[in-house]
Structure 1
Amino acid sequence: MNKLKALPNLMRASALLCVSMALTQPALAEIGKRFPSERQVVTDPITGTPLTFLTTQPHGDAKIYQTHPQWTSDGQWLIFRSAMVAGEAMAVNEQTGDIVQVTEGGYDGMLNPAQKSMRLFFLREAEPRAKGTPPAVEVKKQVVAVDLARLFADSKAGTLKKAEHYQRIVGEVPAELGAVGDTALDADEDWFYFRVGSKAAAAKHLPPGTKIEPPFGPRNMGAGPTGIAKMNVLTGAIQHVVSVPFQIGHIQANLWNPGELVFSWETGGKSPQRTWTVKGDGTGLRPLYPESEHEWVTHEAIIGKDEVALAIMGHRPIPGVEHKGPAGTGVEGPNPGQDAAWGPSGTREKPTGLAIVNLRSREMQIVGQTPSGSGLWHVHGSADGRWAVGDDFARGLYLIDRKTSEMMLLSAGHKDTARDHIHPTFSPDGTRIQIQSAMLSPDGRGMNIVVVPVPQAWLKRAVAGKP
């Protein structure tokens, strides 16, 4: 059933009108170009929660991954990816809905909004690839910093200058390192971390005799070696951080504790040991949460100075036990991770749910789990330790009060046909959650940028210090 039909008639008509009117934009645009506001508040047809859609048109929007900050340091703008201008990043003002192009010349992989200054950092290819060059061919990359404060001011005033007035090339990464767009900006904003994708370059920093891991699982991913390097954002100097004998996935920096990283062993599914942590100088390498064969650990995210949220999946049926359930529950239907080649992990025969690991004490606590279905998958939490949040395969958004263990379905109806999952991320002040949603999508796949509030009743109990 079309969940949009559950909206009030006036709201539904407005939403349908919005998604049917595709904006006509030039194929190319320059940094600082402004686009009309698309901001619209829609009532969630399932839960009644007011959802602030900051984009509503079908132009291929996607939020930054939940491992990284979404808001600029002033708390006013959210950075996101979009095909509104092919290959470029955009920013939307949460209050006014104004949309501004914030890159020119493209970007590679992760976008990194700084949290101490009004800047944006990213990696990109140093020059366009020659026609016919395969993507796997290693090329020189650049680390780029954008002065967002100056850009937003000039864009609003109509006094835009050329891109070099806002974009600074921090430094260049030699092609032989095979730099990949898994990147992170350190809390002190002095270092920019990136993945070393070249096996030869990474192998140079491994101890002699290190066993190189082969691919793991049916997606034929996970083989090493790979590494992490960093560039000084003032001098452009590059230093190697660490090499490991497997394929590194997401790299994230602890935004409250300079010189601390978390990264993953990426296989496209279950890993032998998914989560890892290391210091920015390469010391202290260890598993973050040592997992067992039966545990399917995924989608770790640093949520505070001492804490990392991660999902221990419970999405697969227990062998030999009859399971019945509707499509979308994780028991049957087109859900990921059901291939038997992943091994015995991911069932609810053992504890599963949204887990939070303390980086100092190394203790882990499971703070919530859905009673059925896939369980919580992409997870996050507020920096004050009050809330946790997660999504499931059906694109439901669940909020957890960590003090009382109460859990609620905060938002639903986001269409499980969507191109991607909703990937929740908390705002720095812990009052809002950003997601991406296909609720208004005409084709059921395209996604928009949405902000979901923590209910006022929950916020008031937090202020009062009472359950």
Structure 2
Amino acid sequence: MNEIKAIKLALCAFFLASSCYAQTVEGVDYSDRKNVDKTFDMDGTDIFGQRFPSESLVITDPVTGVKITALTTSRHSSSKIYQDQPSWTADGKYIVFSSNRNTAAGGNVTFASKTAPQKSRQYYAISMANHEIVQVTTGTAAGNLLVGHQHNLAFHFRGKDVIELNLGALLADSEHGKVKDSASYERVVASIPEDLKPGGMCLDVNDSRIFFSTRSGDQASTIYSVDFKTNKTTKLVEVPFRTGHFQANPFLTGEMLYCWETGGDAPQRMWILSVDKNGKAVNRPVYKEKADEWVTHEVFAGPDHILFNVMGHIDRLRKNPTGIMSLNIRTGEAKLLGQAKELGGYWHAYGTKDLKWAVGDTFNGNIYRFNIEKGNTTLLTTGHRPNTQSPFSSQAHAHQSISPNGKWILFNSSMLTDSDIMMVPLHPEGLN
């Protein structure tokens, strides 16, 4: 009798589960819409490999007429990877970004306990084909995710271990609805000494080592590299200042650019660290700046050039030429590309690898394109930092970058919410 009762209960549970899965209500089957409530992830779930429907929206810029593609439009805060690191997977099919959509309230949880650990932003990938979104990290230790230059991989530290994440396999499995547990896509490729606490970091263009820094007291930093093939951590240089904005030369192995980080104007902002095939490290400043120049937001543009901005947002800085500059890091030859007429001038810069085109943004969220050869500029899109002209307001910093194929400008915007990710074509004329 008990066995019959157990079978009946099991069958009842089965039919109830089937009914719930089918989402049949009052005789209508809604199962084809079973994931529609995940559009903006209202539950704030942290589920590795989960997919979200596209939330993209095309907006016509009211000033320029250029079509803006808002890739994220939810109530959550979404940000592209900083402009000095790759945002696209190596095959160009996905954009990797961070978001707090794993939290129910759309904001980071600020408390932690053994039963309720603190949640952090996670990384996601958005398809260039259909704009669907996939969660690619999970848990509390994602840290800075470094997207591979050559392969569909990503790397991050977990404690002393360097973790390789197989993005290619994960995204392929997600497309087919066959995602495994997160450990199935990870492997430890190197380990660093336990007493080192990585701060700034970047992935060498050959995808086989990471450059990273640690604090060496209040006013000093030490830069190391960790090699994935040899599992060797090497001390490269110690400098008497805080370092930041690490970026590998995306065209040349063994070279990285970094800054003297002050949170404002630095005595000498930009530095190059080069390591030859024998392991010899050479550290040197680039662009010897004047005491009344404020240099910021440097980024590689080709193997031998960088772009950066000389700030002009306050009166005392305007004694010298200001604006976006190009610098040959081999010869020291500098060229001023131009300065915006808007209050404060330009802020961030990015360029194509052939040094034909560059883009700059302003404090009120307008984005311009430079024709470097002809020396002219074109306003592409406007209003991405509405109601502010201050670099210190809470609205999103554009941090724009150009897609590897040279077609798209990717940037952060506060047009719709506090921070969304948007794209505009670098050459909208070619789309007409």
Q: Which TM-score tier does this pair reach, normalised by the shorter chain?
A: 0.7 to 0.9
- Cα distance, 1:108–1:390 mapped onto 2, change above 3 Å: farther
Is the 2:311–2:347 contact (alpha carbons within 8 Å) kept by the matching residues of 1?
A: yes
Task: Evaluate the alpha carbon distance shift between residue 46 and residue 110 of structure 1 in structure 2; reply closer, same or farther with a 3 A threshold.
Answer: farther
Alignment of 1:278-297 (within 5 A): 278-280=273-275, 281=279, 283-297=281-295
Structure 1 gap segments, 5+ residues each: 1-20, 125-139, 200-222, 319-346, 461-467
Q: Within 1, Cα distance between the matches of 2:336 and 2:175?
A: 46
Given candidates 185, 192, 195, the residue that maps to 2:213 is: 195
* Deviation per residue, 1:67-113 (Å, 9 max, x gap): 11111111111010101124310010122011001112345653321
SS in 2 for 1:457: helix
User: Quick one: which amino acid aligns to residue 155 of structure 1?
Assistant: S
Q: Secondary structure at the match of 2:271?
A: strand
Name the counterpart of 2:3: none
Who is 1:328 aligned against?
Answer: none
Q: Aligned ranges for residues 11-410 of structure 1 at < 5 Å?
A: 23-85=40-102, 86-107=120-141, 109-124=143-158, 140-180=159-199, 182-199=200-217, 224-280=219-275, 281=279, 283-318=281-316, 347-410=317-380
SS of corresponding position for 2:202: strand
How far is 1:455 from its partner?
Answer: 2.5
Q: Which amino acid aligns with 1:145?
A: E
Structure of greater relative contact order (alpha carbons < 8 Å, 6+ residues apart) = 1
Supply the distance in 2 between the matched residues of 1:396 and 1:282 (Cα, whole angstroms): 43
> Which residue of 400, 415, 419 corresponds with 1:447?
419
Residue by residue over 1:377-429, the C-alpha shift from the partner in whole angstroms, topping out at 9 and shown as x without a partner, is 11111112111111121111111100111112211111346532111111112
The letter for the 2-side match of 1:249 is G
Aligned 8 A contact 2:149 2:206 in 1: no
Native 8 Å contact 2:273 2:284 kept in 1: yes
SS in 1 for 2:319: coil
Separation of aligned partners in 2, 1:458 and 1:308: 27
Q: Are the aligned partners of 1:263 and 1:275 in contact in 2 as well (CA < 8 Å)?
A: yes
AA matched with 2:304: D
Cα pair 2:385 2:395 within 8 Å, conserved: no
Q: Contact 1:242–1:282 (CA<8 Å) still a contact in 2?
A: no
Q: Which residue, 373, 384, 395 being the options, matches 1:419?
A: 395
Q: Normalising to structure 1: TM-score of the pair? A: 0.75
Question: Is the CA contact (8 Å cut-off) linking 1:277 and 1:285 kept in structure 2?
Answer: yes
TM-superposed CA distance for 1:25, in Å, is 4.2
Tell whether the 8 Å contact from 2:46 to 2:139 is kept in structure 1 after alignment.
no
**Partners of 2:87 and 2:142 in 1: how far apart?**
17
Residue type of the alignment partner of 1:30: I
Q: Distance in 1 between matches of 2:186 and 2:283?
A: 34
Q: Distance in 1 between matches of 2:413 and 2:230?
A: 40
Counterpart CA distance in 1 for 2:96 and 2:242 is 28
Alpha-carbon distance between aligned partners in 1 of 2:292 and 2:44, rounded to the nearest angstrom: 49
- 1:171 to partner: Cα distance: 2.9
- Give the alignment's TM-score, normalised by structure 2: 0.81
For 2:85, give the aligned amino acid.
H
Shift of 1:459: 9.1
CA contact 2:366–2:384 (8 Å) conserved in 1:
yes
Distance in 2 between residues matched to 1:449 and 1:299, nearest whole Å: 19
- Counting aligned pairs with the same residue, the percent is 36
Letter in 1 for 2:382: A
Rg (Cα) greater in structure: 2
Q: Distance in 2 between matches of 1:282 and 1:178?
A: 23
User: Alpha-carbon deviations, 1:418-462, whole Å to 9, x = none?
Assistant: 532111111112221100111112xxxx211111101243799xx
Structure 2 alignment gaps of length 5 or more: 1-37, 103-119, 387-392
* Contact 1:39-1:96 at 8 Å conserved across structures: no
- CA separation in 2, counterparts of 1:283 and 1:114? 23
- Show the counterpart of 1:434: 410
- Matched residue pairs, number? 369
Shift of 1:185: 0.6
Two-structure CA RMSD over aligned residues (Å):
2.0
CA distance in 2, matches of 1:277, 1:74: 28
* Conserved? CA contact 1:390–1:398, under 8 Å: yes
Q: Contact conserved, 2:41 with 2:101, CA < 8 A, in 1?
A: no
- Partners of 1:30 and 1:169 in 2: CA distance: 22
